[in-house]
């Protein structure tokens, strides 16, 4: 009996010990959560960290503190400025940041974004240098840890000391692990130093910290894969990121490079031309278009890297003597023509295909080959020809400084004619060449042009007193075949982004059922004297319509569906 009671007592002691241990462990865990290092929760996003979890906050400040207290319109302008900065339009972003800082000088998010934008801009004015110095001193004094190290790294990079910048960036990432800009900057410097594996790890963290909401992290990730020769992985990143950021220039440019590596020169050229249509000053795209067919894929496996044109020339060197020796062998001649076509020597390809057609009009697909050599763009001009063309254009611009404009630049796309409402036709056509327009009825003029696969039709309307009052825009995309997964088609999102860069952020109406099976998705812009509406009919993915009005000419009290007759008028 005494033995059983001793055993029971021993078991009770063990049970109490286990319970006390569990309570101590739970208390320790709670204490760690309460007093230990804080963490930032992250989501699982494509190309980010492999799973959801958390990242230690360190001494990262809360950049969003105070933002929710700003007026809604100011928050929208702040988001627009950040988007402009991330897209490389630094001057416009700085102007918006300055305006917000003047009214709300203590909001950290605005100070931080303007600081980063000033660091990104290459040439600063004296005023911008002064503002940069102010922000540097203010933020380094307020946040002496990771933020100060990050700023030191940016300053070292401005002084062209990349090794010191890299050291400071590493310290900043260690002290403020949840500071997104510090991790992204560290990844950029690692990429420049060729430390690709470490740069990729930082990119994964940066993408997760931003929840996939910033295209810059995807740009670096895609370039990392590209520089390692992992073109399939780079293409996967690019294609996914472009679904989220369809007008990002760097991603589109890389998409063009990848198309060239696969030999899809026409697709690559179309991509470059679309980039230049959105931003004519983007020099990387113009350089890429000028060297079309001359790029070779990166990689470390080959001692000599041949461009597609070089490989085509090798085939020409082999086939040309054979064709001379056996001129009746039409398959040989076709192979030579195809080699010329691959090397973008279209005139020589056309000669070979024409010779085949003359000898055998029934030769398979020969008319299609001949058509391909006729419709494809010629090879880029040489450097000397380019210089002569530039000089001729400069001379023409000097001669025609006061002549009416015959072409649209970015600022005048989507019917944004730089003419005041109320102007007479004489004033309007003094600014824009009348030869571009045709009269379609009294006081109504229309012009049509193509931009890649987009057909633009702009209709300018004057009232009965011959005063300029409204512009109707119709843009259709000939390459669209279907509306995918119920999402807004690319043409709508692209034109919405484009008009937002010209007119500012509009107000989205969402999808509205207007009856008769017409569902309208639109955005509107309204100022004191101007009203714009950009709209698409759900189920018609290839067409976008827009109307710009003199606001005084609009009847009062119109609702969204009331604009349908105006949208469909021309």
pLDDT in tens, the chain (570 residues): 455 667 777 777 677 777 777 777 676 656 545 544 467 777 777 888 766 677 787 888 888 888 888 888 888 888 888 888 887 788 888 889 888 888 888 888 888 998 999 998 888 888 889 989 998 999 889 888 888 999 999 999 988 888 899 999 999 888 888 888 988 999 999 988 888 888 888 888 888 888 888 888 899 989 988 888 888 888 888 988 888 888 888 999 999 999 888 878 888 888 998 888 878 888 888 888 888 877 778 864 443 445 556 666 667 777 777 788 788 888 888 888 888 877 777 788 888 888 898 888 888 878 877 877 775 444 444 433 444 444 444 444 434 445 566 677 766 788 888 888 888 888 888 888 888 888 888 889 999 988 877 889 999 999 888 888 899 999 988 766 544 444 557 788 888 888 877 777 778 888 888 888 888 888 888 877 788 999 998 888 889 999 998 887 778 778 888 888 889 888
pLDDT of residue 484: 44
Paired residues of 535 in beta bridges = 522, 545
Can you tell me the distance from the alpha carbon of 105 to that of 293, in angstroms, rounded to the nearest whole number? 51
pLDDT of residue 307: 56
Terminal-residue alpha carbon distance, the chain: 105
Per the structure block, which two tokens stand in for 46?
Answer: 């494509």
Contact 300, 311 (CB under 8 A): no
Can you tell me the distance from the alpha carbon of 300 to that of 356, in angstroms, rounded to the nearest whole number? 41
CA angle 246, 247, 251 (to 5 degrees): 80
pLDDT of residue 247: 80
Per the structure block, which two tokens stand in for 465?
Answer: 């007193």
Contact 177, 169 (CB under 8 A): no
pLDDT of residue 51: 66
Contact 256, 271 (CB under 8 A): yes
Please tell me whether residue 537 adopts helix, strand or coil conformation: strand
Can you tell me the distance from the alpha carbon of 93 to that of 117, in angstroms, rounded to the nearest whole number? 8
Per the structure block, which two tokens stand in for 509?
Answer: 């109406």
Angle of helix 108-120 versus helix 126-142 axis, rounded to 10: 130
DSSP sequence for 148-178: HHHHHHHHHHHTT-HHHHHHHHHHHHHH-TT
Can you tell me the distance from the alpha carbon of 477 to that of 452, in angstroms, rounded to the nearest whole number? 9
Per the structure block, which two tokens stand in for 380?
Answer: 């880029």
pLDDT of residue 254: 93
pTM for the whole structure: 0.52
pLDDT of residue 379: 42
CA angle 305, 309, 315 (to 5 degrees): 95
Contact 139, 150 (CB under 8 A): no
pLDDT of residue 36: 44
Paired residues of 461 in beta bridges = 444, 470
pLDDT of residue 28: 61
Q: How far is CA 301 from the centre of its chain?
A: 31
Contact 220, 196 (CB under 8 A): no
Nearest to 450 by CA among 484, 421, 410, 478: 478
The 10 Å CB-count burial string (b at 16+, else e) for 241-255 is: bbeebebbbbbbbbb
User: What distances in angstroms separate CA 276 from CA 257, 263, 392, one per listed residue?
Assistant: 15, 21, 21
Please tell me whether residue 198 adopts helix, strand or coil conformation: helix
pLDDT of residue 348: 85
Phi, psi at 524, each rounded to 5°: -125, 150
């Amino acid at each position: 009996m005494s033995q059983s009671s001793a055993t029971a007592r021993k078991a009770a002691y063990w049970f109490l010990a286990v319970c006390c241990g569990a309570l101590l462990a739970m208390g320790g865990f709670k204490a760690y959560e309460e007093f230990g290092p804080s963490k930032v929760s992250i989501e699982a996003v494509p190309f980010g960290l492999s799973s959801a979890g958390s990242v230690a906050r360190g001494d990262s400040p809360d950049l969003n503190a105070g933002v929710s207290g700003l007026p809604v319109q100011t928050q929208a302008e702040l988001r627009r400025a950040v988007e402009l900065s991330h897209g490389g339009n630094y001057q416009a972003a700085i102007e918006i940041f300055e305006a917000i800082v003047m009214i709300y000088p203590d909001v950290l998010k605005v100070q931080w974004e303007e600081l980063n934008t000033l660091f990104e801009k290459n040439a600063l004015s004296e005023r911008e240098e002064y503002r940069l110095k102010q922000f540097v001193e203010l933020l380094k004094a307020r946040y002496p840890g990771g933020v100060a190290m990050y700023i030191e790294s940016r300053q070292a990079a401005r002084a062209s000391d990349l090794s010191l910048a890299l050291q400071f960036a590493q310290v900043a990432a260690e002290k403020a692990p949840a500071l997104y800009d510090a991790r992204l900057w560290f990844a950029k410097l690692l990429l420049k130093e060729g430390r690709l594996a470490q740069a990729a790890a930082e990119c994964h963290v940066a993408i997760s910290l931003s929840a996939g909401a910033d295209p810059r992290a995807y740009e670096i990730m895609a370039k990392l894969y590209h520089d390692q020769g992992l073109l399939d992985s780079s293409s996967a990143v690019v294609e996914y990121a472009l679904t989220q950021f369809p007008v990002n220039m760097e991603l589109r440019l890389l998409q063009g490079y990848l198309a060239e590596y696969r030999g899809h020169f026409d697709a690559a050229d179309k991509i470059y031309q679309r980039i230049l249509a959105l931003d004519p000053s983007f020099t990387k795209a113009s350089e890429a278009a000028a060297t079309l067919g001359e790029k070779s894929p990166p990689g470390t496996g080959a001692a000599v890297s041949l461009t597609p044109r070089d490989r085509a020339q090798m085939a020409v060197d082999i086939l040309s003597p054979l064709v001379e020796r056996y001129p009746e062998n039409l398959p040989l001649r076709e192979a030579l023509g195809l080699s010329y076509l691959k090397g973008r020597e279209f005139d020589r390809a056309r000669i070979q295909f024409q010779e085949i057609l003359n000898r055998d009009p029934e030769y398979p697909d020969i008319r299609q080959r001949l058509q391909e050599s006729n419709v494809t763009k010629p090879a880029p001009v040489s450097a000397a020809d380019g210089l002569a063309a530039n000089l001729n254009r400069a001379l023409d611009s000097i001669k025609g400084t006061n002549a009416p404009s015959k072409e649209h630049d970015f600022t005048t796309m989507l019917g944004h004619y730089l003419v005041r409402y109320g102007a007479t036709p004489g004033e309007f056509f003094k600014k824009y060449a009348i030869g571009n327009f045709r009269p379609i009825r009294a006081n109504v003029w229309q012009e049509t042009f193509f931009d890649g696969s987009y057909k633009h039709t702009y209709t300018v309307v004057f009232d009965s007193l011959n005063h300029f009052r409204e512009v109707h825009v119709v843009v259709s995309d000939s390459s669209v075949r279907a509306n995918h997964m119920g999402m807004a088609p690319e043409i709508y999102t692209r034109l919405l982004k484009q008009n937002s860069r010209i007119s500012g952020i509009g107000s989205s109406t969402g999808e509205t059922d207007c009856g008769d099976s017409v569902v309208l998705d639109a955005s509107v812009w309204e100022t004191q004297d101007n009203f714009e509406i950009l709209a698409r009919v759900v189920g018609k993915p290839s067409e976008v319509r827009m109307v710009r009005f003199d606001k005084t000419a609009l009847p009062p009290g119109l609702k969204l569906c009331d604009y349908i007759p105006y949208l469909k008028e021309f």
